[in-house]
Amino acid sequence: MRAEVSSVARGEGGTVNHVSGTATAGNGGDFDPRQAAALLDQATQQARRTFTPLTPLLFAFRAVVVLVVFGGFWLSVRGQHPYTGDISGWAIAVAVVLVVINVGWTARAIARAGTGVSGPAQRKWRAWKVFMVAAWIIGYAVTAPLYHAGLSHPVWGLYPASAPLLIIGLASAAVGAAFRYWPLAGASLGIVVVAAAAGRPAGSWLITGIGLCAAYLGIAAFTAWWQRRGMVRP
């Protein structure tokens, strides 16, 4: 198998010399196929890193955040009902600090990756971000107090402690499906299944922490693999 080019371009200037022949290295300065493949893979990896706002490092940080935050909550309300037990002040303080760092880091990463980018996918991404923020707010800021106030609900009745996780997991799965980002969709559905199967009041915070931590680590690993994957030689 031998590829042929009808013309071989030389140098950065892009002057095209119309010569027929094989696309292997010829005279000095030729852009041979091996160099082209290496450059294509390198440029692809650089572009993916540039335009991917949520980096593997950020996902790994989030894995630590959810484990520390939800683990802290679990430690402070062990033996009590998750929403009626008193979460200690230190656990809330640690959670606030970590969440603020996470929000700041995420906002900066999204702003940096989206600089100079516009188009339909960007608008779609912005809409889904609002959807996910709403899911988190509904999941924890609204659902838990309402449950605490004694309101009955079919979902809370079935899964009182893991209702927030079910809401956020399903929302996250919808986002993953909308962007055909199947690792996110799969991990989110996994969280939903775990929450539905194992969500009991006593361990709800810990299950949430471990489930989200595992999901974030999985997504971090996938993102790192995807960013390093080459186009010519995967």
Partner 1 sequence: MTDELDPLIHVPTRLRIVVTLAALPDGDALTFTRLQDILGLTPGNLIIQLRKLEEADYISSTKTGSGSASKTTVVLTRKGRAALGAYTRALRNLLGGLDTDIAADTDANADADGDHVAF
Residues that bind partner 1 (CB under 8 A): 1-9, 11-14, 16, 23-24, 31, 33-37, 39-40, 43-44, 46-48, 50-51, 115-122, 231-233
- CB closer to partner 1 out of 149 and 180: 180
Task: Give the nearest distance from C-beta 29 to partner 1 in angstroms.
Answer: 11
- Angle ∠(113,119,122) on CA atoms, nearest 5: 45
- Residue 84, CB-side half-sphere exposure with 13 Å CA sphere: 10
- CB closer to partner 1 out of 86 and 233: 233
- CB closer to partner 1 out of 84 and 122: 122
Q: Which of 82, 178, 70 is nearest to 128 (CA)?
A: 178
- CB closer to partner 1 out of 31 and 140: 31
- CB closer to partner 1 out of 16 and 151: 16
Task: Give the nearest distance from C-beta 22 to partner 1 in angstroms.
Answer: 9
Task: Give the nearest distance from C-beta 197 to partner 1 in angstroms.
Answer: 35
- Angle ∠(110,183,41) on CA atoms, nearest 5: 70
As to burial, measured by CB atoms within 10 angstroms (0-12 exposed, 13-18 middle, 19+ buried), residue 62 is buried
For tokens 């775990």, name the residue: 194
Task: Give the nearest distance from C-beta 2 to partner 1 in angstroms.
Answer: 6
Task: Give the nearest distance from C-beta 59 to partner 1 in angstroms.
Answer: 19
Contacts of 134 (CB under 8 A, 6+ apart): 171
